[in-house]
A and B are shown apart, each in its own frame.
Chain A
Amino acid sequence: MIPTALRQYTEGSKPQIEVSADTVSQALSKLLSDNKKLAVHIFDENGKLRNFVNIFLNNEDIRHLEGEETKVKESDTIRIVPAIAGGSFTEKHENKYIPDIDDRRVSINPREYRRYGRHLIIPEVGMEGQRRLKAAKVLVIGTGGLGSPSSLYLAAAGVGTLGLIDFDVVDETNLHRQILYTEKDVGRSKVQTAKERLQLANPNTQIKTYEEPLSSGNALEIFKGYDVIVDGTDNFPTRYLTNDACVMLGKPNVYASIFRFEGQATVFHPKVGGPCYRCLYPKPPPPGLVPSCAEGGVLGVLPGLVGLLQATETVKLILGTGDPLIGRLLVYDALSMTFEELKIRKNPKCPVCSENPEITKLIDYEAFCGIQKEPDVASVLPLQLSQELKEGREVKLLDVREPHEWDIVHINGSKLIPLRDLPERVNELDSADEIVVYCHTGGRSARATDFLRGLGYKKVRNLEGGVEAWATEVDTSLPRY
């Protein structure tokens, strides 16, 4: 039997030609010697059957029989069946970071062409890249200093789905760097305010909000729905939690941290061979050693740049283009205006990302980082202390903050010994005195109280809420910071 496509090459354009032969091979050579024009379409230059030619003997592919040597009997039917194949010539590059991104039925509609016009004309982005951005789901943890610029640019760039996690409200002290918020937002929910702002930037981006603390109980469930996790948190328990959850789910973790004038950024993605946060920092620092931005301060413009390093890496992962910061820690110093790159190696014995991990379930990260809920020390509330002072009780006030904080505000009549100097200057204090220790918000002073009590200072108490609470509740004429 000759397929219609080839009949024109046979004598008389016959659909059926009879030959006598012992094998398929013989039958074919007989057919071709009688119909020479057929040969080029059936055999290649080397005389082999072209790979798109199938020979069927009585409805069975000869490849499943004995090939061309398959024996034939009288009245057997040999059919030439075309294997129809083809395809376009775009050799699309795969995205190994988000392998299923091209399977999602998302397209850029013509109304969006103009919005993303400057993206579409970059060969590395183009329609395919813009479609990937639209198909992508990015989770931003923390909508503060880092999360503000990263989420704003990711929404503007056309990321289709953005998740935001934060349980904080906007505070006035956030405004010098958290550019999602304005003065009128003080006191409002961060994720709600952020959602409204991002929706203005790009109404096409779907924003999902999670107004709850990230915990071992909800992390996997939330992360599961996202392709890239952007870590913009400011505390160790959440960083370890984010890392472990990302490793367990095989998701890339775009990490950054900021302090004063310095920023760090990298991409943790053990699934494609890179290290994880625990490879870099196997153990958390002792509680209190590394100050947070609230304790140590941060240059307002710093998170802008560092957050956009994260946004840039996120966009690259989505496009599947360029070299991500996998295995490289970028250290940025704003004072010297330098970028340094440190190699991070994968720890072959890493408890979470090695081949045989010890940790396969999320743990209690507060406990892992040695954080206790409330330092168990004797304390006094601002109003109570104020009353005691009014009653003329002899109370010595000890300020354990830094001198430049003292310059901003302090309680009259107090003595300054910064926390780190306390061990060597403790002899300046009399253990017979009644002492109340304070700092900015009560954390450092609690540690100082604990330290002094351990040395036998029995009459030491901690001022709850620090000078901040004092300025809010007792002496509202004092400045707050």
Chain B
Amino acid sequence: MDADSARLGTDINSETEVILLEEIVSEMHAHAIQTYPEECCGLLLGHFEERSKMVTESRRMGNAFVKEERYHRYTIDPKEFLSVETEAEARGLEVVGIYHSHPNAPAKPSQFDTSHAWPALSYVVIEVRNAQAIDTRSWILKDDRSEFVSEKMTIRK
């Protein structure tokens, strides 16, 4: 199964939408497969619009969690985050989302994801099994931080 035929998330129970270029999805999948069985993580750059986010670039970030835990944990070094954010802003782009992979686990946010999540951003989660990206879904945190809700994900050529 290649990235193109991978099953993509379709549940819609949120009013927001994230729009991704097809090449960005392929790139996230490639990243997730390369780091498997560890989690990968990265930033999604683009623009916030009225009810949606437009993602025009993705940026791979190193997984700064201790090596032994990377199979189920990721973290991004804040300094590296800051440097990407600053550089993006200089080009008129914003950090609109985070992507990360779940090796051998469903593409749903975990409790750990929820407790560490930031509002407004799209959290794209890629389920990887046997080094194949088999499910990709986007999630957004509720304002009261209680839980993630699924977000519509549209892929454009």
Interface residues of A (CB under 8 A from B): 3-9, 15, 40-41, 51-52, 54, 56, 59, 61, 79, 81-92, 102, 105, 107-110, 127-128, 131
With A6-B118, A90-B72: A79-B39 Cβ-Cβ less than 8 Å: no
The count of A-to-B residue pairs whose CB atoms sit within 8 angstroms is 128
Cross-interface CB contact of A127 among B76, B110, B129, cutoff 8 Å: B129
- B76 and A5 form a contact (CB under 8 A): no
- A88 and B39 form a contact (CB under 8 A): yes
- B39 and A102 form a contact (CB under 8 A): no
Q: Of A59, A61, A84, A89, which is in contact with the most chain B CB atoms at under 10 Å from its CB?
A: A84
- B48 and A4 form a contact (CB under 8 A): yes
Chain A residues near B96: list those with CB within 8 A. 4
In the complex, A88→B43 CA distance in Å?
A: 18
Chain A residues near B71: list those with CB within 8 A. 92, 102
- B110 and A84 form a contact (CB under 8 A): no
- A85 and B75 form a contact (CB under 8 A): yes
8 A Cβ contacts from B30-77 to A: 36-37, 39, 41, 43, 48, 61, 65, 69, 71-76
Counting contact residues on chain B (CB < 8 A from A), the size range is 35 or more
CB distance from B129 to the nearest CB of A (A): 7
B111 at the interface (CB under 8 A from A): yes
- B94 and A89 form a contact (CB under 8 A): no
B154 at the interface (CB under 8 A from A): no
Chain B residues near A7: list those with CB within 8 A. 120
- A89 and B110 form a contact (CB under 8 A): yes
In the complex, A215→B15 CA distance in Å?
A: 71
- B39 and A87 form a contact (CB under 8 A): yes
Interface residues of B (CB under 8 A from A): 1, 36-37, 39, 41, 43, 48, 61, 65, 69, 71-76, 78-79, 81-82, 85, 89, 94-96, 98, 100, 102-106, 109-113, 116-121, 123, 129-131, 144-145
CB distance from A42 to the nearest CB of B (A): 10
- B82 and A86 form a contact (CB under 8 A): no
Chain A residues near B39: list those with CB within 8 A. 87-88
- B105 and A88 form a contact (CB under 8 A): yes
Nearest A-chain residue to B88, judged by Cβ: A4
Q: List 7 A-B contacts (CB under 8 A).
A: A3-B95, A6-B120, A52-B118, A79-B82, A81-B81, A90-B105, A128-B104
CB distance from A358 to the nearest CB of B (A): 35
Chain A residues near B121: list those with CB within 8 A. 4-5
- A87 and B119 form a contact (CB under 8 A): no
In the complex, A7→B112 CA distance in Å?
A: 24
In the complex, A4→B97 CA distance in Å?
A: 10
CB distance from B83 to the nearest CB of A (A): 9
Chain B residues near A84: list those with CB within 8 A. 41, 43, 61, 74-76, 81, 98, 116, 118
CB distance from A455 to the nearest CB of B (A): 68
In the complex, A355→B141 CA distance in Å?
A: 54
Nearest B-chain residue to A99, judged by Cβ: B68
In the complex, A109→B129 CA distance in Å?
A: 10
- A87 and B145 form a contact (CB under 8 A): no
In the complex, A84→B78 CA distance in Å?
A: 8
In the complex, A84→B39 CA distance in Å?
A: 13
Q: Of B78, B106, B120, which is in contact with the most chain A CB atoms at under 10 Å from its CB?
A: B78
With A81-B81, A127-B129: A86-B95 Cβ-Cβ less than 8 Å: no
- B112 and A86 form a contact (CB under 8 A): yes
In the complex, A82→B116 CA distance in Å?
A: 9
In the complex, A390→B81 CA distance in Å?
A: 99
Nearest first, the 7 closest Cβ-Cβ pairs linking A and B are A88-B105, A89-B110, A88-B102, A87-B73, A86-B113, A85-B75, A107-B130
